[in-house]
Amino acid sequence: MKRLILATGNAHKAEEFARMFTQAGLPCEVASARSVGGMPMVDEISGTFSGNARLKANALKLLAPPDTWVLADDSGLSCDALGGAPGVDSAIYAGPQATDAENRKKLLSALTGVPSARRTARFTCHLVLLGPNHEEAEFTGHCEGSILEAEHGSGGFGYDNLFVPAGYTQTFGELPAATKDELSHRAKAFAALATWLRLA
């Protein structure tokens, strides 16, 4: 049984990961960063999802017991009409202390007048896993879709109630959590992680 600590202070992400580990039936005891005193402050200055995930993993690894694994996630939304924004700045798009609602409001404002055919976007997730014996692995997932002109649904978090995954007519904020767990960028990165853990 591996003991794994999630390098996130985001309660929604922790819940989503815990749910995915349970559904996958992986032999892991999953804990949040709260179990080691909380996620340390990390200056996410790498400019990439991969680099930011690694910064967070390394920061928590310094606090984690030596026999534990650490899993860090960095993810965000990239809109083609905005040159890839908000991208790595997704969580702070409207400012360092911005709420999810403020970030969504800024995104809708930035996309004002952009026709539906050009509102294509994707969620990206990078996972970095660090093990107790210097193991390192990285996994990536993407989810293509588009951004609506108004919010729909009250589920999910972040930009979920603006994002309609490709092939669907409802946002992540409207779709059941079980459906999101199959389609999302985080779910796809997690699937690769799960395969790796079963062989490790």
pLDDT at residue 168, as a whole number: 97
Annotated catalytic residues are 74
Q: Identify the CATH number of the domain defined by range 2-199.
A: 3.90.950.10
118, two tokens: 């050009």
pLDDT at residue 135, as a whole number: 94
pLDDT tens digit sequence for 142-152: 999 999 999 99
pLDDT at residue 44, as a whole number: 87
Burial class (CB in 10 A: 0-12, 13-18, 19+), 6: buried
d(CA 153, CA 170): 8
Residue 161 one-letter amino acid: N
What global pTM score does this model have?
Answer: 0.89
pLDDT at residue 19, as a whole number: 83
pLDDT at residue 116, as a whole number: 95
94, two tokens: 């409207």
All residue ranges of the chain with pLDDT < 50 are none
